[in-house]
């Protein structure tokens, strides 16, 4: 089983202090939504976001959308050997069922996650496919109880991904951290949860590219592919 934890995920509701900004109210009105109940999205709220702390990392729900589509559709997930967790920049935790069929369309994805923030589970009734809670990263890691934790970052030690995955395949309960945000290094508090920080390519790659490559190499290393 591979535990894949997306860290510092760029996923949050519009912060209260910019909820009255014209770019937020205009878009919310157009969609018939309450401005404080919509996801922060740089493509819609760029001007309102300019003075937010860590603005360069925020307002990109499309990144975790793509990463989850890659992961949920993989043979590894279909064989029940992938556990997916999403931890956000604000320490919200989403636990994702392997059975989840995520909308491909980004508008429908945003609406689904807005519903999750409002009622803390999706769907609201019956077996949950995504649950929502507040948890520190160290508590999330303690719950996973990994045998080894690897952070993937372009600032890590250079390693071949196939060698790394051979090592992960030999572990009883490996945990890999991937940053689901657009720019910048991982926070020190994230890196300190890892036993090793690894770079798999000489430049920064998109998070969903790293996700699909990791899963494919892990499938090969475990004889699934």
Ligand X SMILES: C[S@@+](CC[C@H](N)C(=O)[O-])C[C@H]1O[C@@H](n2cnc3c(N)ncnc32)[C@H](O)[C@@H]1O
> Does residue 152 interact with ligand X by CB under 6 A?
yes
**Residue 13 engages ligand X in binding (rule: CB under 6 A):** no
Q: How many CB atoms lie under 10 A from the CB of residue 105?
A: 10
Give 70's contacts (C-beta < 8 A, 6+ positions apart): 208, 211, 212, 215
- Cα angle: 212, vertex 216, 221; to 5 degrees: 145
Contact code string over 163-182 relative to ligand X, x by CB under 6 A: ---------------xx--x
Nearer to ligand X, 19 or 204 (CB): 204
The helices-and-strands tally (H runs, E runs) of the chain is 9, 8
Phi, psi of 153 (to 5 degrees): -155, 145
How far apart are the C-alpha atoms of 5 and 34, rounded to whole Å? 30
Q: Which residue is nearest to ligand X (CB)?
A: 179
Q: Is 4 in the site for ligand X (CB under 6 A)?
A: no
Q: Indicate whether 130 belongs to the interface with ligand X (CB under 6 A).
A: no
Tokens 């996973």 found at: 144
Q: Is 210 in the site for ligand X (CB under 6 A)?
A: yes
Is residue 108 part of the contact set for ligand X (CB under 6 A)?
no
> Rounded distance, CA 91 to CA 89, Å?
6
Residue choice 185, 189, 192, 195 for contact with ligand X (CB under 6 A): 185
Output 10 or 222, the one with its CB closest to ligand X: 10
Q: Is 59 in the site for ligand X (CB under 6 A)?
A: no
Query: What is the sign, positive or negative, of the torsion defined by CA atoms of 125, 69, 58, 199?
Result: positive
CB of 199 to ligand X, least distance (A): 4
Q: Of the two residues 31 and 195, which places its CB atom closer to ligand X in the complex?
A: 195
The answer to whether residue 186 forms part of the interface with ligand X (CB under 6 A) is yes
Residues of this chain that interact with ligand X (CB under 6 A) are 152-155, 178-179, 182-186, 199-201, 204-207, 210
């Amino acid at each position: 089983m591979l535990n894949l934890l997306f860290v510092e995920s760029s996923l949050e509701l519009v912060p209260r202090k910019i909820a009255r900004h014209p770019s937020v109210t205009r878009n919310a009105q157009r969609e018939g939504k309450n401005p404080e109940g919509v996801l922060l999205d740089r493509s819609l709220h760029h001007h309102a976001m300019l003075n937010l702390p860590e603005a360069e990392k925020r307002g990109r729900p499309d990144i975790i959308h793509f990463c989850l589509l890659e992961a949920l559709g993989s043979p590894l997930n279909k064989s029940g050997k992938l556990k997916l967790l999403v931890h956000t920049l604000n320490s919200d935790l989403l636990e994702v069922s392997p059975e989840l069929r995520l909308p491909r369309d980004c508008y429908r994805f945003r609406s689904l996650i807005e519903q999750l923030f409002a009622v803390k589970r999706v769907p609201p009734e019956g077996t949950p496919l995504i649950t929502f809670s507040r948890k520190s990263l160290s508590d999330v890691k303690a719950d996973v109880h990994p045998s080894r934790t690897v952070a993937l970052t372009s600032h890590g030690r250079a390693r071949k991904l196939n060698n790394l995955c051979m090592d992960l395949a030999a572990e009883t309960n490996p945990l890999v951290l991937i940053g689901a945000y657009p720019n910048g290094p991982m926070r020190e508090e994230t890196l300190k949860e890892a036993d090793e920080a690894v770079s798999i390519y000489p430049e920064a790659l998109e998070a969903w590219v790293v996700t699909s490559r990791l899963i494919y190499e892990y499938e090969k290393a475990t004889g699934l592919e």
